């Protein structure tokens, strides 16, 4: 799971359930610790069996007041992805541009100021310092401009990657709402979205980990969270 705070859902807005069962397996646990342990075990299993049909894993809780929170593991949050993209874009664009501009500035300044020093327009003793100053200024300006452009591009790419990852591997609001229907106030559940062929194995694993299995219904037109 990403480092952001748990998402929250207003349960009063949850849609009505449909008769068809979704590819969602829910295991109810006594507390948060056991639910988190079960989710970590499912995460290890998912990594060990790539392509095994487990798409998303996480925890869902229902507060005493009825507020529902959930945390999906292994999902890149758009905000975090945007921050990473911003830093990476600034570095990847800014550093090469600064190096190239600094080299070009040093070459151009060496030629121009060297000739100026020969004809006496610039003191010969000051030529070296002026060349270095021009090279540094060119590198700083180019690095700043390219870094800003790279930061914007990286931020947009990061947002896109995070949004796609959240849609593919995250939970949908109706899934969370109906998983929460299995919980009493203050209850916790480990939830996994699994393909039908994998559901029995995932359900058995949750039982082995101490969970009470439950399989709520979900409307087919699940809206992404």
Task: Report yes or no on 180 lying in a domain.
Answer: yes
Nearest Cα residue to 123 out of 132, 135, 113, 133: 113
Q: What is the pTM of this model?
A: 0.60
Q: Which domain holds residue 104?
A: 78-166
| 25 and 223 Cβ atoms separated by less than 8 Å | no
Query: Residues 86, 107: one domain?
Result: yes
Tens digit of each residue's pLDDT, the chain (225 residues): 333 334 433 333 333 333 444 478 888 888 888 888 888 888 887 777 766 677 788 888 887 777 888 777 777 778 888 899 999 999 999 999 999 998 998 998 888 888 887 777 778 777 788 888 888 999 999 999 999 999 999 999 988 988 887 777 777 777 787 778 878 888 888 888 877 777 788 888 888 888 877 754 444 444 444
Nearest Cα residue to 191 out of 50, 47, 79, 69: 69
Query: Residues 26, 60: one domain?
Result: yes
Kindly tell me the burial class for residue 192, based on how many C-beta atoms sit within 10 Å of its own C-beta (0-12, 13-18, 19 or more). buried
Task: Report yes or no on 12 lying in a domain.
Answer: no
Kindly tell me the burial class for residue 70, based on how many C-beta atoms sit within 10 Å of its own C-beta (0-12, 13-18, 19 or more). buried
Query: Residues 96, 39: one domain?
Result: no
């Amino acid at each position: 799971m990403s480092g952001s705070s748990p998402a929250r859902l207003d349960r009063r807005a949850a849609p009505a359930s449909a008769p068809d069962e979704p590819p969602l397996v829910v295991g109810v646990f006594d507390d948060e610790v056991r639910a988190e342990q079960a989710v970590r075990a499912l995460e290890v299993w998912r990594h060990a069996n790539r392509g095994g049909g487990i798409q998303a894993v996480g925890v869902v809780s229902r507060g005493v007041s009825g507020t529902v929170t959930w945390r999906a593991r292994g999902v890149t949050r758009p905000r975090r992805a945007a921050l990473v993209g911003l830093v990476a874009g600034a570095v990847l664009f800014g550093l090469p541009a600064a190096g190239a501009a600094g080299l070009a500035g040093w070459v151009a300044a060496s030629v121009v100021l060297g000739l100026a020093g020969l004809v006496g327009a610039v003191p010969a003793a000051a030529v070296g310092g002026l060349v270095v100053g021009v090279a540094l200024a060119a590198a700083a300006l180019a690095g700043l401009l390219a870094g800003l452009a790279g930061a914007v591009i990286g931020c947009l790419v990061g947002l896109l990657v995070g949004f796609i990852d959240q849609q593919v591997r995250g939970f949908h609001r109706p899934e969370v709402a109906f998983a929460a229907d299995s919980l009493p106030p203050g209850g916790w559940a480990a939830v996994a979205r699994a393909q039908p062929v994998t559901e029995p194995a995932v359900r058995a694993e949750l039982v082995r980990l101490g969970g009470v299995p439950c399989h709520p219904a979900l409307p087919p037109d699940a809206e992404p969270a």
